[in-house]
Structure 1
Amino acid sequence: MMQDSPDVDAEHNPSQSDLSMLSLSLDIQLSSPGFEDRLRALSAAELSEHLREAEVNIRRFSEELVQQLAIRDELDFEKEVKNSFISALIDVQNRQKEHRESLKKKKKLKGGAATGPGYLTTVIPYEKKGHPPSVEDLQILTKILQAMRDDSDKVPGLLTDYILNVFCPT
């Protein structure tokens, strides 16, 4: 998402203080004595000008509202993706811990090695890049973690796609 410079934003997008001042101004005008008389005294051209200003403000505020709602939706989606990633990661870590503990118990009881789920010990390659992973990367990693948690046969294919497309793109 592209952000405009603060100067451009100030000119085109109303700030919270702009909205507060407009609301306060309207409240004062509407409640002041003689407002109706002053309104009736305006010419048709003056009324048209006030109407045009009001329509411009409504349009500007509506555009700002739509932009802010879009930003909110993007942030909500990003939060959901991050929560899903964390949840899948914790699930896999818990399953790995349970698997290690069950292996220790089986070794003590039988004196031999026990086999278990095949994909819980899978390692996902990751390289720190100085910034957090993108939402798209987190979605891919979440898919891999969920497949690992479910011990799915899709793990090798998902890992291959991740390595070829994200980790080492050509």
Structure 2
Amino acid sequence: MAYIANMPDGQLPAWLSANRLMLWTLLALRDLGGRAHLDALYRRLGEVLRIPEDLLRLEHPTGARQEDYVVRHRMRFALTDLGFLGLVNSHGQGNWSLSDEGADFLKPLDEEDAPMAERDWSRETGIELTLAESELETKLNWRVLGRLRPSGLFQATAQDVERLESLMRTVRERRHSRS
């Protein structure tokens, strides 16, 4: 069954937001040997997250400023943030590499033994996160939110506020699912 046909209000699930894709993009880049072109990285991200094909090919609405697939656009946005955080490097022409800091950031996952193929997947939540992945995802989000100026949210961009709201929803969902 097509995934898009069952999307409420045409909204992508929260697990495909740019801030949720940061950790998965780092992992996909590491899976590809630490260096990859956007095309290979996007394919690997789709495999890792088991993103349905129709969702991978979902385009922005006619008239939108973006001309890329929606999920790919979000992955690129995640890469930009990861670059800002020093976890990946851009080499131009769509080529990216994992920085030494990015490789070190992922080291806590080396001790886990949770094969992706055996993990639960649902339309609402995507791949079930391990405890270490959940902790790293939270660290990434706090690093991004650290960009906010000390004087308050009024100087934050609309995307910063949207990310903060998304992070808060994610925290509430995780608390609710554990209870």
**Alignment TM class, shorter chain as reference:** under 0.3
User: Which structure is higher in strand share?
Assistant: 2
TM-score by length of 1: 0.22
**Structure number with bigger Rg:** 1
User: Which structure is higher in helix share?
Assistant: 1
